[in-house]
């Protein structure tokens, strides 16, 4: 999997060496010799990952990382700090500045490429969500701010460990900052009743295969988006690389340092909550595009797209299909008498009545004003007529209680069935039947003739 990698270092020889190393693996490489130049490139170019030297004049790597992660336009870009500093406090400082990982100079190929593959894979998944969610006006600000606001909220952590002693050590390190659930049973971790926010997996476990557990977590629908943090010993590097390839997000080496462990946990929880915010934003966008906000029914736009597919399915499988067009009788009189707020409440209650009267396979939509439509797949005309008459009688028999008023309603319904003239003809016939019901006195159900429709 190729990616575009930005290498930032104030030493030209280091830039050339890293460029050659990455080019051999067919990565597209961008170069920056200062922190300021790196920030400008990240705003100007599409970047999948930043390899960022820490010790630079002017803006050092920590500050560049903080600025990238604080900016809604660049916060999603993974950052790996590259430094000759290898003390525990240096790693913690880097993680607290927002870095996704740390590499120590001289950089070796195996850990370098395993991190690039792991982080760019995650970024591609996040990018798909982010690009879709950008259709909402504030998606680039709200989700990350929400994630930042809840970053210190307790997370539910499941640690799959072999020994009780290891569990006790982790409990002591994590303390009460998070809800911690240790287990030595991989099955209970994969099939937990309540979802976890993070999995910690001991790579040295012998009673179960930790790499297989990583694979199972990634292939399970309910856990595939949950981050995995590996606990490893220095000699476990090949297994760490394999774990990252299987979908683990990060690892922490023994002996475990509390500050580093907590920083890595915080980073993974923050990224998870950011992705969850994007998903929520995407769902909200879909709802805005397809749902009528007043009644909660689908809108005309969704109805048209769904009806096209329903007709194709019916014609392909030689199945029946009917459409009901409904109109609330004398709705203008309700608005004029009781006001528009009452009229809106009538529309809402009418929609609820429609929902209660539908089969699971039927689809109801508000197509404008007081007009509604119901798509009834696999319904013969007799069944659709019976359903329409049942709806008409039910609405007539149940006056609505709105703002201390009792409002009697009736509805006119037109029923159309699928013929050779497709979607436009079907909707036209149902609409003509509705017009006939209203012309003949309202509170009626009329069935459309199957002959050619005028203007179809």
Whether 335 contacts 343, CB under 8 Å: yes
Please enumerate in sequence order all residues whose Cβ is within 8 A of that of 174, keeping only pairs 6 or more positions apart, or say none. 157, 180, 261, 262, 265
Distance, in Å, from the CA atom of 131 to the CA atom of 145, rounded to the nearest integer, reads: 17
Q: Which of 281, 290, 287, 286 is nearest to 130 (CA)?
A: 281
Whether 348 contacts 433, CB under 8 Å: no
Out of 260, 345, 370, 446, pick the active-site residue: 370
Q: Which of 406, 219, 437 is nearest to 328 (CA)?
A: 437
- For 43-69, b/e burial (b = at least 16 CB within 10 A) is eeeebbbbbbbbebeebbbbebbbbbb
Angle at which helix 331-338 crosses helix 340-356, to 10 degrees, equals 140
Q: How far is CA 401 from CA 225, 340, 341, 405, in A?
A: 46, 15, 13, 6
Strand ranges for 197-316 from DSSP E: 198-202, 228-232, 250-253
Active site residue 40: no
Q: In a 3-state reduction of DSSP, which class is residue 113?
A: helix
DSSP-derived secondary structure letter, 440: T
Residue 104: Cβ-neighbour burial (10 angstroms; 0-12, 13-18, 19+): middle
| Residue whose entry in the numeric block shows the structure tokens 């630079």 | 56
Max alpha carbon distance in the chain (Å)?
A: 88
Q: How far is CA 193 from CA 180, 183, 216, 217, 276, in A?
A: 15, 14, 16, 14, 19
DSSP-derived secondary structure letter, 452: P
The structure tokens listed for 142 are: 């709200």
Active site residues: 370
């Amino acid at each position: 999997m190729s990616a575009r990698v930005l290498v930032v270092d104030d030493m030209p020889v280091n830039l050339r060496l890293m460029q050659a190393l990455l080019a051999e693996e067919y990565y597209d490489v961008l170069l920056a010799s200062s922190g300021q130049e790196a920030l400008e490139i990240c705003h100007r170019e599409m970047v999948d990952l930043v390899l960022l030297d820490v010790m630079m004049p002017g803006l050092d790597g920590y500050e560049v990382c903080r600025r990238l992660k604080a900016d809604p336009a660049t916060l999603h870009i993974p950052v790996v700090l590259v430094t000759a500093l290898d003390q525990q406090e240096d790693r913690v400082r880097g993680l607290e500045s927002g870095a996704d990982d740390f590499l120590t100079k001289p950089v070796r190929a195996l850990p370098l490429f395993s991190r690039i593959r792991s982080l760019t894979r995650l970024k591609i998944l996040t990018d798909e969500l982010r690009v879709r969610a950008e259709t909402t006006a504030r998606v680039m600000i709200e989700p990350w701010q929400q994630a930042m606001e809840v970053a210190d909220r307790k997370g539910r952590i499941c640690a799959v460990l072999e020994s009780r002693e290891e569990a006790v050590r982790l409990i002591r390190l994590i303390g009460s900052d998070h809800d911690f659930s240790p287990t030595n049973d991989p099955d209970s971790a994969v099939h937990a009743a309540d979802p976890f926010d993070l999995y910690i997996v001991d790579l040295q476990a012998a009673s179960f295969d930790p790499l297989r557990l990583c694979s199972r977590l990634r292939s399970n629908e309910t856990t595939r988006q949950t981050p995995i943090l590996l606990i490893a010993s220095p000699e476990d590097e090949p297994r760490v690389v394999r774990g990252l390839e299987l979908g683990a997000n990060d690892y922490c080496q023994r002996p475990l340092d509390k500050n580093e462990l907590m920083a890595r946990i915080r980073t993974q929880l923050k990224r998870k909550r950011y992705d969850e915010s994007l998903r929520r934003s995407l769902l909200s966008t879909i709802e805005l595009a397809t749902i009528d906000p007043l009644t909660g029914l689908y809108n005309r736009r969704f109805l048209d797209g769904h009806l096209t597919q329903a007709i194709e399915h019916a014609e392909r499988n030689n199945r029946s299909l009917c459409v009901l067009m409904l109109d609330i009788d004398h709705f203008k009189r309700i608005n004029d008498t009781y006001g528009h707020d009452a009229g809106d409440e009538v529309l809402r209650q009418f929609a609820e009545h429609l929902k209660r009267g539908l089969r699971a396979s039927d689809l109801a939509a508000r197509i404008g004003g007081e007009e509604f439509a119901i798509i009834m797949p696999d319904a013969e005309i007799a069944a659709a007529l019976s359903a329409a008459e049942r709806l008409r009688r039910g609405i007539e028999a149940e006056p609505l209680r709105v703002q201390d008023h009792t409002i009697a309603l009736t509805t006119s319904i037109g029923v159309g069935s699928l013929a050779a003239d497709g979607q436009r003809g079907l909707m036209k016939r149902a609409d003509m039947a509705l017009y006939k019901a209203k012309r003949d006195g309202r509170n009626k159900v009329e069935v459309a003739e199957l002959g050619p429709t005028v203007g179809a």
